[in-house]
Amino acid sequence: MNTSAPTQAAHAPAEGRGRKLTTSAMIASIAEEGQRTTRAPFGHALARLAGERPDVVGLSADLAKYTDMHIFREAHPDRFFQMGMAEQAMLGAAAGLAEVGLTPFASTYSVFATRRAYDFLCLDIAEPQLNVNVVGALPGLTTGYGPSHQATEDLAILRGMPGLTIVDPADSVDIEQAVPALAAHPGPTYMRLLRGAVPTALDEYDYRFELGKAAELRGGRDVLFISTGLMTVRALTAAQELADDHVDAAVLHVPTIKPFDRETVLREAAKGRLVVTLENHSVVGGLAESVASCLAFAQQTARIVPVGLPDEFLAAGALPTLHDRYGLSVAAIKERVRREL
């Protein structure tokens, strides 16, 4: 049995168990204060898609509410499958549904999809190249519940899996556009999920999600931010604020980790700027190493500064404190850039 949803009562003092307590550790918002947000973009996008495509089905490993799959469940109850705390069985069932022509989206926490059910994803889904879309919530440092729930190495685990497409969306706009693109893609996919109140930012940059393509959101002569996932929104904020210090920063958003847009990265990294990679993932095996290997194999050089999570098991606690501690906050990004320049 997994520990996917620790109860509040288990963490409450005895005298407090008569009233409902709340915690900011599990479902804390990643949005900055005053930032525009969209509620449950994945769940609503999947429900809309299912209204257009009768082949789309949804599965959950007892975590529908915590992966926004409950939106789909309420809209299409006859096409929702609750698999219980059995992630391996969920992926096996999703493979069977894909074999008969359906298009499954299977959601759970990233730690369980990658650490616990890897073999099922690899041999039941990726090896036969089935169109199963695995959706992993709480990627990287998006929960304060410690290593059992922090999927800080999911990209590193999955990048070596043959034929698997990996997407790390930045905001609600990215998620809403990625869902139909993943359903239309013929092979298996893994998407890191931002759930709940998700920042909405990319609509201000004339952005369109394109599978396998990076997008330049902002130009700049001094620094090139190459970012993915929630760090792209923070890169944009950091770039805007660094302009006050006369630092001109470009932002290149990389929503698809695999296949990697080598051509765009090589072109932008060749412009002589400091390259700063930003990812909500360990600096081992994720975006930073993808960029570095891309340049190395092309015999191209650039000064690369990786901003990401350290190669260690992280602490538990409140997310804002942890993001400052591990260098993911906007303030920490700006300080790192000033130091490197």
Architecture of domain 212-340: 3-Layer(aba) Sandwich (3.40)
Q: Is the pLDDT of residue 41 over 60?
A: yes
Domain boundaries, the chain: 37-199, 212-340
pLDDT bracket for residue 76 (50, 70, 90): very high
Give residue 261's pLDDT.
98
Whole-structure pTM value: 0.92
Q: What is the pLDDT of residue 308?
A: 98
- 37-199 is a CATH 3.40.50.970 domain: yes
Q: Does the pLDDT value for residue 3 go beyond 60?
A: no
Report which of 333, 36, 6 is spatially closest to residue 144, judged by C-alpha positions: 6
Report the alpha-carbon angle 285-60-256, nearest 5: 30
> Same CATH fold, 212-340 and 37-199?
yes
Q: Tokens 């493979």 appear where?
A: 95
pLDDT of residue 255 exceeding 60, the answer is yes
What mean pLDDT is reported for the chain? 93
